[in-house]
Amino acid sequence: MKSIFHSVLLLFCLGFQLNAQVNPLDSTKLINFYNQLNPEAQQYLQWDTTDSVSEWPGVTLEDIIDVGNRVVALDLSDSGIEGVLPSLADTLTFLDTLICSNNAIDFIAGLPSGLSVLDLSNNFLEDLPTSLFALTSLALENNRLTFEDLDNIILGGEIDILQFTYSPQGPLGQGSNYTYPDGSVELNVYDVEFPSPFNLYEWTKDTFLVNMGDKNYVIASPEFMDGGRYILSVTNGNFPDLTLEGYVDLYVVQPQNMPDTSTLMIQADPTEQGAIQSLMEQRGWEVEKECWCTDGENARLRLYRGTNINSIFTELNALVPNRRSRIDTDTTEFNFFLIHDPDTSSSSTIIDCTSDIVFPPMDIISGDKVKIGYVDSGFDPEHNQYANSIYINPSPATDGNCSPNDEMGLDFVNSTPVIVDNDGHGTHGMGITTYNLPDGVSFEVLNLKVFDSTGILFDLICAVQYAVDMEVEVINISMGYYAPEASDILYGALKRAQDAGILVVVSAGNDGWDVSELENRQQRWPGNFKYPAISDTTYATLDNLIVVGALNTSLDSIASFSNYGPYVDVLAPGTGIRSTLPNGEYGIYSGTSMATSFVSRLVGIIKAKAPEVTYQEIITCIRDNVENIEDDGRVAWGGKVNFEATLICLNIEVEGGFTQQTSRPSTVSVYPNPFSEVTNIILDNGNILFQNVSFTVTTMYGVPVYMENCNTNALQWDGTYSNGGGKVPLGLYFLNIRVGGNSPHIIPILRL
C-alpha cells in the first residue's frame, strides 16, 4: 500500500513540476499532441514543454471549481499543421473551443466530446469526424467537402448548430478523358458512391448547357467537335449558399493517338512514394516499373498498371489550385505511345549527294571526348563501325541510379542493362552520329533504349532523366508523339536538361504536317515545347531544343514526308540515308530521325572542340548560318544546316573545308572494288563539292542500270537499279563520273 501511495505521489509531483498551473492530465495530453505534430508546426508553435502551459501560445486556461486549472481553448490557426491533426479526445474533457483554421489538415484523429466551438476552415478536409455532439458554432468553409459530408452533419441529428458556415468549398477536381470517334465516353468528376438525393447536376460546355440531371454524363459516338472542357455544377437545396464545381477535359482523337489507359505515370518526392503505392494498391494498381533514383533514394517516377483510370487519376491529381489529394503527388499523368516510323524504301545514295557524313568535309584541330545520350531503340553494341564511340560506365555499381549494372546505358523498355536493338532504328542513327568523325574528335554515346516496334512516354522520360544524371552534353531524341495536352513530367525532364546546359536535338516527325496547325487540338511533343504552342502559361519556352526536319538533298528542298511549320527549326539530310544496322549490316532509311542524328553529330563535334561553348551559342550559330532552300519559309530558321559555316561562327579552327567547283575531278577513288553490298566513290579527297555531277553505271555492253545527277563530294552505290527494280546481277559494270561538260572518269567495278 505504501509503495502504491509513493508511485501516485511521484506521478503527481512530476506533473506538477512540468506544469504547476494546469491539471497534469491536460498537460500530459498536450505534450503528447505537440510531439505528434509535423516539424513545421512544432517550429511555428514553439511550445516549451519545460515551461508552464499558461505560457504556451494559443493555450487558454480556466480555473474550474474542484478540479483546478484546465485547458478550455486552443487557437492553432495559421500554425503550419499538415496532414493528420493528432487526437485530442478522452483527456481534454474541458476543452470548449478549438480553432484550427488556415492549415493543411486533411484528417482529424479525434476530438473531445464537450466542444462547442470548432473552426476547421481553410484546410484540406475530405471527411469529417463523427464525434460532433454539442457544437454551437462550426466553420467548415474552404475545404474539400461534398454535400454528402455536410448532409451527415445536418440530417444525422447529432448536433444543433446555431452558427454554421460551409461555403465555399474547394473545386471538385479535374479529369482528362480520351476517346475516339464513334466510341463512347462517360464523364465524371463527382466521385461519390452514394450521392445525396437532393443533389442537382448541370453540365456545361463553352457556357452552353449540355446536360441536366446526370451525375455522370455519357456521350455516345462522340465527334471531334465534341472535344473540349465540360464543367459540372452541383447544388443541393439543403445548402443554398454552396455550389460545387469540377471539370473534365475531353479529347477526341484518332485511335493511334490514344494514351495507354491501363497505365499511369506518377512523379513524386521519394519520401512520398510509399504512401502513394499503398493507396494505389488499395485501388488495384501495381507498380510496373520505376526510374530516376539518386543516391540510393526511392525512385521519383513510377509507372502503375490497373483499371478505372479516370477515377484514380482524379483522386491522385494534385495540380488543381486550392485542392490537393490525400497523397500530395507532384504529377499524375497519362502514358502515351511513341512514334518513330522511318521510311525504309530503297535508294542508292548513302546519305544523298551533299552529305558530309560519309567522308569528313574538314579536319578539326584537336578536340575532347563528348558524352551523348542517344535515346532510341537502342543500338547494337557489337557493330564494328562505332565500337570506339560507346560509353563505358566506370562505376556502374556506385553511380546511385536505379540500375547498378548500367555499364553502357539502359534498356528502359525491359528494365535491363542488356541492350538489343530489335528495331534497327537506333543502330542506324548511331551510325550517322558517329561515322567518320574528324581527327581529334571522339564521342562517348550512352545506349538508351526506349522502344522496340513501339514505345511509351514513361520510358522516354526515364531516359532523359538518366542522361541528365549521367552529365551528357547532347541528347538525341529521334521520336515523338501527338497529344492535345503537354506532359508536365516530360517538360520537367527537359527543363532539367536545360538547367544543366544540355542541348536536346528532336525530330520533327514524318507525317508531312504543319505541326503548328494540327486538327483536333493535337500537338507534336516534345518538339512543341520549343515554341509557345501551349494555350496556358504553365510552361516557359524551352530554348535548349533544336527541332529538325528532313532535307531531300537531291532536290535541295524539304522532304515530302517531313513535318514542317514555325515549330520546326531547320532541315538536315534525311532521304535515302545508308547507315549501320544490327548484326554488322547496313541499310537505307529516310526520315526526320536521320536528319536529327546529323545535327547531333554536328553539336557533338562543336562540344569536342569548344567544350565551353553554351547551347545558346550553338543554336545561334546554326540558326544564323542556315542555307536558304526552295520553300525556305516552311521552317522557322529558313533553310538547311550549314555545317562548315556553323563551325566557323563558333571560331572552331577548320582545315580544308568544302570548296565548290565545276572542273573535272583530278581523281575518283572507288572502294571496295570488287564489292558485294556497297562501294564508296570519292571525288578527289572528298573536300570539294562538285557541281552538276552525272553518275552513271552501265553494263559491259553500255546499257545503263543506274543514273543520277546531283552536287556532291562523295557517293555510295549499293548495286540497285535506279528504277527501283532491286539488285543488279553479279558481274562487271562501268562507273561513269562526269562533272558538267568535262570528260568523264570511267572505272570498271565488279559486283560479287
Query: What is the rounded CA–CA span in Å between residue 196 and residue 239?
Result: 12
Could you give the count of Cα atoms lying within 13 Å of 141 in the half-sphere of its Cβ?
Answer: 12
pLDDT of 538 reads 67
Total residues belonging to the chain: 752
- The mean per-residue pLDDT over the stretch 366-392 comes to 90
- The mean per-residue pLDDT over the stretch 447-475 comes to 94
C-alpha cell recorded at residue 522: 493535337
Band the pLDDT of 19: cuts 50, 70, 90. very low
Structure confidence by residue, pLDDT tens digits, 410-451: 999 999 999 999 999 999 999 999 987 887 889 999 999 999
Please, what is the angle between helix 273-282 and helix 309-316, to 10°? Answer: 150
pLDDT of 748 reads 92
pLDDT of 459 reads 95
Query: What is the rounded CA–CA span in Å between residue 505 and residue 615?
Result: 11
Kindly tell me if the per-residue pLDDT of 664 is higher than 60: yes
pLDDT of 329 reads 34
pLDDT of 21 reads 65
Band the pLDDT of 174: cuts 50, 70, 90. confident
- The answer to whether the beta carbons of residues 250 and 177 sit under 8 Å apart is yes
Burial of 515: CB neighbours in 10 Å, binned 0-12, 13-18, 19+: buried
Residue 173: partners with Cβ closer than 8 Å, 6 or more residues away = 189, 191, 246, 314, 317, 320, 323
Query: What is the rounded CA–CA span in Å between residue 588 and residue 717?
Result: 11
pLDDT of 686 reads 65
Structure confidence by residue, pLDDT tens digits, 399-409: 777 777 899 99
Kind of pairing between the strands at 545-552 and 570-573: parallel
Kindly tell me if the per-residue pLDDT of 330 is higher than 50: no
Band the pLDDT of 325: cuts 50, 70, 90. very low
Structure confidence by residue, pLDDT tens digits, 200-258: 999 999 999 999 999 999 998 888 888 889 999 999 999 999 999 999 888 887 777 78
Band the pLDDT of 154: cuts 50, 70, 90. low
- The answer to whether the beta carbons of residues 168 and 148 sit under 8 Å apart is no
Band the pLDDT of 315: cuts 50, 70, 90. low
Band the pLDDT of 479: cuts 50, 70, 90. very high
Q: Is the four-CA dihedral 281, 290, 461, 532 of positive or negative sign? A: positive
Reduce the DSSP state of residue 51 to 3 states and report it. Answer: coil
16-20, 252-256, 414-418, 499-503: the lowest-pLDDT one? 16-20
13-27, 60-74, 231-245: the lowest-pLDDT one? 13-27
Could you give the count of Cα atoms lying within 13 Å of 582 in the half-sphere of its Cβ?
Answer: 12
Structure confidence by residue, pLDDT tens digits, 531-568: 754 544 567 889 999 999 999 876 688 999 999 999 99
One-character DSSP codes across 255-315: GGG--EEEEEEEE--GGGHHHHHHHHHHTT-EEEEEE---TTPPPSEEEEE-S-HHHHHHH
- The mean per-residue pLDDT over the stretch 506-522 comes to 85
Burial of 295: CB neighbours in 10 Å, binned 0-12, 13-18, 19+: exposed
pLDDT of 336 reads 81
Average confidence score pLDDT of the chain: 83
pLDDT of 160 reads 59
- The mean per-residue pLDDT over the stretch 666-685 comes to 84
